[in-house]
A and B are shown apart, each in its own frame.
Chain A
Amino acid sequence: MAPDHRKILRTRTPPEHGRPGCAASGRLAWRVWRKAVFRLTLGAVFAVAVLSCNRQDEQIRVYRVVKAPLENPAPPSMPPPSSMSLPPDHPPVGGSPSAPAAAAQTASKLPAPPHWEPQPLAQMRKASFLVRGENGTIADISLVTLGASGSDVLGNVNRWLGQLGQPAITAEQLPKLVQQLPGDLSRVTVVDIEGKPEQGDPNKDGRIIAAIAPTENGTDFFKLRGNPALTGAERENFLTWVGAMRTGGK
């Protein structure tokens, strides 16, 4: 005869702590357990409270590091006496993408036309050149890097139009003024605008050719601004330089 499964499932085992002999040990275990749980809970609450109050993101840290090699070209004669110190044959440590000296060096290493005169770097410029034309005409070439917020093409184009005394344009008019570089440089937006700035010297101003190039960390602004004819004549050189800067000269 088949067993009645429902009956089997309904049957309950008598509770173990109800058995004589088990009650005393059960009560003792219960007391020990409660105490342990109580202490453990208190400890855990205290630890979490301490951790919450002692957050790293609120503390000022002071530490010493080896100077970046570009700022201290002389090789160290002795290993620096810090926990951050490296062995004598260790390669130089650094590589901050925003270090000005590094940026300046990168800019100067990359090919620029020989007739572009390197200029002292202002605080926001990573590269700066001056090109001279006939009859005292000049054009200024610069590379400035800003954060990601700077990549708003329309805002920048309107800003440059304002500098040349031109009215602002709308987003619908923007495609007529900008173009993308071909091939691997398709993320680079180029704008070429002309105008007559108020009180501007036509020998030095009147046309802007700019390239907006988004990077991993922000936006590179390449800008050629100066006398309209000279700026136009330098357009190819400028775009070649932009391409070289983007590809690391490859």
Chain B
Amino acid sequence: MIRKAFHLLSSLKLTIACLAAGIVLVFAGTLAQVNYGIHIVQERYFQSLFVWWPPEGRGLKFPVFPGGHLIGAILVLNLIAAHARRFRWGWGKLGIHLTHAGLIVLLVGGLLTDLLAVESHMRLAQGDTKNYSEDQRGMELAVIDTTVDAELEQVTAIPETLLRKRSEITHSSLPFRILVRNFFQNSRLYMVSESNARLRPIATQGVGAQVAVQAVPRATSMDDRDVISAVIEIIPHEVGAKSLGTWLVSDALGAPQTFSSAGRTWRIELRSARYYKPYSVTLQKFTHERYPGTEIPKNFASRITLIDPERSVNRDVLIYMNHPLRYRGETFYQAGFQKDDSASILQVVRNPGFVTPYVACVIVALGLLVQFGSHLITFSRRRRTALA
């Protein structure tokens, strides 16, 4: 049985089937981008084990096709199994082995990047200092204890994925539990007091008592993003304590809301997920050069000051196109700027597997060089022998 499974896993037919499935997946994913946009398609087609049908709703779902992760994982296992099964040692096959090893490193590196890489951005106006970057798509519900310390505040960051599950959220840092009553992946907010009578406020406390929320289809354009909203109920742990009511939290609200519980003051806010760093970045100057007489960008650059108290670093760095700053495992790229040049946008990438594509390319190149080189040498020798 095991032998049969091993033979199946190492068969060339499986390789062909996976490659064919990959082609179909890429084709279907490309077509699906018309309706769903690149981010949703990436999530559903390529960063998943299966493509599910129907894609929307919470009802019964069926896997209709293998997703990118499954195809990639099977390909890696197939490559390793085939290599293990058919391997015969010999210097003549060194090139083949190296090439295959390079491919395995490439596939595993791709999977690692997908699982571990974090992309965020840092928007800095001239003179701004920040020690955090913000996720480009992921949100978090920040529950902030503002009275924990005179100079510090304690943030309990609840990821959007937990809100989406609409479950009960408890944590040892919170003297209350949070019940997610409603979740909107994309929404529009309307002021009830300024609208017609058909709209009802979505919550009982805070700004939500004046706001109605309408669910809308997910954003599909490259430049758009979903406006996530949720209604949460806050229930203190204390025995006999009353619920603190329902609160609206939304990406569209411009300000956090406050309440008191267990003798402390809390602030809640749905915001882009933040990644704090043990160092800070200050934007000293943003330069946007254009070609004379046109609006075509020639160069844009940010001169920043990097201060890291732990490592006693205090230095100025110029970040510009194709000249990122690499520091503490993160890479800062000059990604964009605000339209009136009032702020610079740096993309911050943490990718522990960033070196794998380079390593893989070197191994594959070496393998091909050895393979074709050895053939060339053999051919030349035989030619010489035949000529002699």
- Are B280's CB and A37's CB within 8 A? no
Does A108 belong to the interface (CB within 8 Å)? no
Give Cα A58 to B273, complex, Å.
12
Q: Roughly how many angstroms separate A162 CA and B158 CA in the complex, as a whole number?
A: 39
Given A86-B131, A93-B280, A123-B257, verify A148-B224 contact (CB < 8 Å): yes
The residues of B that contact A57 with a CB separation of less than 8 Å are: 138, 159-161
Q: How many residues of A contact B (CB 8 A)?
A: 80
> Is B359 on the interface with A (CB-CB < 8 A)?
no
B186 contacts the other chain (CB 8 A): yes
| B252 pairs with A150, CB closer than 8 A | yes
Chain B residues with CB below 8 A from A71, complex form? 146
Pair A162/B195 contact, Cβ less than 8 Å: yes
Q: Are B154 and A103 in contact (CB under 8 A)?
A: no
B90:A3 contact, CB within 8 angstroms: no
On chain B, which size bracket covers the interface?
35 or more
Say how far A223's CB is from chain B's closest CB, in angstroms.
9
A3 and chain B: residue at smallest CB distance: B386
Main secondary structure of the interface of B (DSSP, over half): mixed
Chain A residues with CB under 8 Å of B256's CB are 98-100
Given known pairs A80-B151, A98-B256, A124-B207, the reply for A93 and B131 (CB within 8 Å) is yes
Given contacts A103-B255, A148-B224, contact A48 B191 (CB under 8 A): no
| Residues 211-237 of chain B, each 1 if its beta carbon lies under 8 Å from chain A, else 0 | 100001000000011010000000000
In the complex, A56→B114 CA distance in Å? 12
B155 touches A63 (CB 8 A): yes
CA distance A55 to B115 in the complex (A): 8
B261 CB within 8 Å of chain A: no
- Which of chain B's residues have a CB closer than 8 A to the CB of A5? 383
Instruction: Return chain A residues, CB-CB under 8 Å to B372.
Output: none
Cβ-Cβ contact count across A and B, 8 Å cutoff:
209
A64 on the B face (CB < 8 A): yes
- In A66-85, the 8 Å CB interface with B consists of 66-67, 71-72, 76, 80, 82-85
Q: For residue B318, give the distance in angstroms from its CB to the closest CB of chain A.
A: 19
The interface residues of chain B lying within 8 Å CB-to-CB of A37 are 80, 83-84, 87
Contact at B252–A41, with CB atoms within 8 Å? no
Evaluate contact between B251 and A147: CB separation under 8 angstroms: yes
Which of A10-18, A111-119, A129-137, A170-178 is found at the contact surface with chain B?
A10-18
Collect the chain A residues with CB atoms within 8 Å of residue B207's CB: 123-124
B91 touching A126, Cβ below 8 Å: no
**10 residue pairs bridging A and B, Cβ less than 8 Å apart:** A9-B379, A30-B87, A37-B80, A60-B162, A62-B155, A64-B155, A66-B151, A86-B280, A93-B130, A149-B189
Interface of A with B (CB < 8 Å)? 3-5, 7-9, 11, 13, 15-17, 25-26, 29-30, 33-34, 37-38, 40-41, 44-45, 48, 51-52, 55-67, 71-72, 76, 80, 82-87, 90-100, 103, 123-124, 126, 144-150, 152, 159, 162-163, 184, 216, 218, 247-248
